[in-house]
Chains A and B, each alone.
Chain A
Amino acid sequence: MPVVMDADRMARSLARIAHEIVERNRGVDRLALVGVRTRGVPIAVRLAAQLKEITGQDVPVGALDITLYRDDLMHHAVGPQPLVRSTEIPFSIDDRVILLVDDVLYTGRTVRAALDELIDFGRPRAIQLVVIVDRGHRELPIKADYVGKNLPTSHAESVSVRLAETDGCDEVVIEKTSGEDEA
């Protein structure tokens, strides 16, 4: 189970991404962070802390649960429904630049769902995508604006981002999934 990113490396990546955000947007005015549940949310909270450190300004943070927008929601003829959790966006997204935050970018289907859901909340000036790991294998025309690490993988592998808030430690690990189709 190779660890491809440890806590130090992750912290440095997040610090770099925060600086890139400030540079590209010329500050943090009219910026907001929206994390995709589950692990996008603590990452968004950490980025908000970094942005505050750099600029002294608070950037609002929201949480998005994309379950009800999944494109495979009713496709499983058999089996339980995915658990729905709350979406919390306690600010207007109109005319803001939204930084959409997730842990792993893979097929792009989660991001597609998140974009559809965000648009139901208003009309942001722009949406930019932040991910810790981009592992390739896109199935939709989607690209990240800020990437912690590009990680070439095969379909037979799985990538887990672990966070202190949800998993007890900060690391990214890559695992073989015993040849079975993980979709």
Chain B
Amino acid sequence: MSPETTPTTTGAPQADDSPIPTSRLRRKDLVGIAELTAEEISLILDTAVAMKEISSRPIKKVPALRGKTVVNLFFEASTRTRTSFEIAEKRLSADTLNIAASTSSVVKGETLADTVHNIEAMSPDLLVVRHSSSGACHFLSRICRAGVINAGDGMHEHPTQALLDAFTIRERKQRIAGLKVAICGDLLHSRVLRSNVLLLTKMGADVWLCGPPTLMPVGFERTGAHMTSSIDEAVEGADAVMMLRIQLERMLGGFFPTLREYFNVFGMTPERVRRAKPDVLVMHPGPMNRGVEISSELADGPSSVILDQVANGVAVRMAILYLLAGGAEHEAAA
């Protein structure tokens, strides 16, 4: 859907204050990809195209969210996502503040609900939340007046990561439908995986998941994704190959013998990627374990779009902030 062809009301005046084409997310929160329709995903990606241009200007700031307050509430460590959200908020002129759990009253034993109710008493418009418990954002979206944006909750979802991955694929390939996307690595612990599989299958991609059987979750077949433990089968003819981080901090259960063995069997290397299409995109949500799930040669090679993903993250988050800042009060009034 090209924004240029969006129909306006017939005969609508095109003067200064005429009705303008509008579109919105039908929600006040972005908790997960699961709730989004394909149209809403397209709207976010289309809006992000316009937002991306702003980051290339001499003055990288537009006044769209002037006077809005956005609180970044991070109960779990993050550099990339938090920085990306903060830059996106600042480029839209929102007032932002960051709360890290380690320096908050959480360490004094305050509950999540109490912490958030206290922040809400100071009337923020949007909360960006990362939490180690799956479902924390869904819980907060029910008890908060402000819009809640999920910046990663436990092993549940990381919707903005999936949207920026989709944006990166669409930017390079001009489409998502019909592409073969292989996702390899620690499938079991990954919220990025869940969001990506939901999004890519909704948009009509052919998704292949690959990892050691010990790290393969059950139930993903229902989304229409293919599961395999053969990396060659997953990569064969792929348009994009996405590696997931081996979450070393969660690897206490003996899921595989050694990191070296993991790399030998599942690590992505230039030789393995040769089975994919010649113009394959090599993606990684970061942070990377070089020499574990991906070789350095590949991560820094010409097929890699890993740093494009980071750049696109700002544009996609700007789009989400813009679309939700307008929709928040609507839902409350409805």
When C-beta atoms are compared, the residue in chain B nearest to A94 turns out to be B58
Chain A CB within 10 A, most for which of B11, B14, B22:
B14
- Number of B residues with CB within 8 Å of any CB on chain A: 45
B68 interface neighbour in A74, A85, A122, Cβ under 8 Å: A74
Q: How far is the CA of A183 from the CA of B34 in the complex (A)?
A: 37
The answer to whether A120 and B4 touch across the interface, beta carbons within 8 angstroms, is no
Tell me which residues across on chain A come within 8 A of B14, comparing CB atoms. Answer: 38-39, 103-104, 159-161
Mark each residue of chain B from 10 to 35: 1 if its CB lies under 8 Å from any CB of chain A, else 0. Answer: 01111111111111100000000000
What is the distance, in angstroms, from A50's C-beta to the closest C-beta of chain B? 22
Q: List 19 A-B contacts (CB under 8 A).
A: A38-B14, A67-B64, A68-B62, A68-B63, A74-B64, A76-B326, A80-B24, A81-B325, A82-B21, A83-B3, A83-B6, A84-B322, A87-B53, A88-B53, A103-B14, A120-B57, A121-B57, A160-B11, A182-B17
What is the distance, in angstroms, from A23's C-beta to the closest C-beta of chain B? 28
Kindly list the 3 A-B residue pairs having the minimum CB-CB distance in the complex, ordered from nearest: A158-B13, A80-B24, A81-B326
A74 interface neighbour in B11, B24, B49, B326, Cβ under 8 Å: B326
Known contacts A104-B14, A159-B13, A120 near B59 by CB under 8 Å: yes
Tell me which residues across on chain B come within 8 A of A68, comparing CB atoms. Answer: 54, 62-64, 92, 322
The interface residues of chain B, by DSSP majority, are classed as loop
Tell me which residues across on chain A come within 8 A of B3, comparing CB atoms. Answer: 83, 85
B→A interface (CB under 8 Å): 3-4, 6, 11-24, 46-47, 49-51, 53-54, 57-59, 61-68, 92, 319, 322-323, 325-327, 329-330, 333
Tell me which residues across on chain A come within 8 A of B23, comparing CB atoms. Answer: 80-81, 83
The answer to whether B50 and A86 touch across the interface, beta carbons within 8 angstroms, is yes
- Number of A residues with CB within 8 Å of any CB on chain B: 47
What is the distance, in angstroms, from B178's C-beta to the closest C-beta of chain A? 25
Q: With A39-B14, A117-B62, A182-B13 given, can you name 16 additional A-B contacts, CB distance below 8 Å? A: A68-B63, A68-B92, A79-B326, A80-B22, A80-B327, A83-B23, A83-B46, A84-B319, A86-B50, A87-B54, A106-B15, A106-B16, A122-B58, A158-B13, A159-B14, A177-B13
The answer to whether B329 and A69 touch across the interface, beta carbons within 8 angstroms, is no
Known contacts A73-B64, A85-B50, A182-B13, A78 near B333 by CB under 8 Å: yes
What is the distance, in angstroms, from A113's C-beta to the closest C-beta of chain B? 9
Known contacts A74-B326, A158-B13, A69 near B47 by CB under 8 Å: no
Within 8 A of B (CB), among A52-71: 65, 67-69
Known contacts A86-B53, A182-B13, A120 near B333 by CB under 8 Å: no
Tell me which residues across on chain B come within 8 A of A81, comparing CB atoms. Answer: 22-24, 322-323, 325-327
Please tell me if A77 contacts chain B, counting CB pairs below 8 Å. Answer: yes
A→B interface (CB under 8 Å): 1, 38-39, 65, 67-69, 72-74, 76-88, 103-111, 116-117, 120-122, 135, 158-161, 173, 175, 177, 182-183
Tell me which residues across on chain B come within 8 A of A106, comparing CB atoms. Answer: 15-17
Tell me which residues across on chain B come within 8 A of A103, comparing CB atoms. Answer: 14
The answer to whether A78 and B330 touch across the interface, beta carbons within 8 angstroms, is yes
The answer to whether B325 and A74 touch across the interface, beta carbons within 8 angstroms, is yes
Q: How far is the CA of A106 from the CA of B18 in the complex (A)?
A: 10
The answer to whether A135 and B323 touch across the interface, beta carbons within 8 angstroms, is no
Tell me which residues across on chain B come within 8 A of A86, comparing CB atoms. Answer: 49-50, 53
The answer to whether B58 and A121 touch across the interface, beta carbons within 8 angstroms, is yes
Tell me which residues across on chain A come within 8 A of B64, comparing CB atoms. Answer: 67-69, 73-74
Chain A CB within 10 A, most for which of B16, B59, B61, B319:
B16
Q: How far is the CA of A82 from the CA of B12 in the complex (A)?
A: 15
Chain B CB within 10 A, most for which of A68, A86, A106, A182:
A68
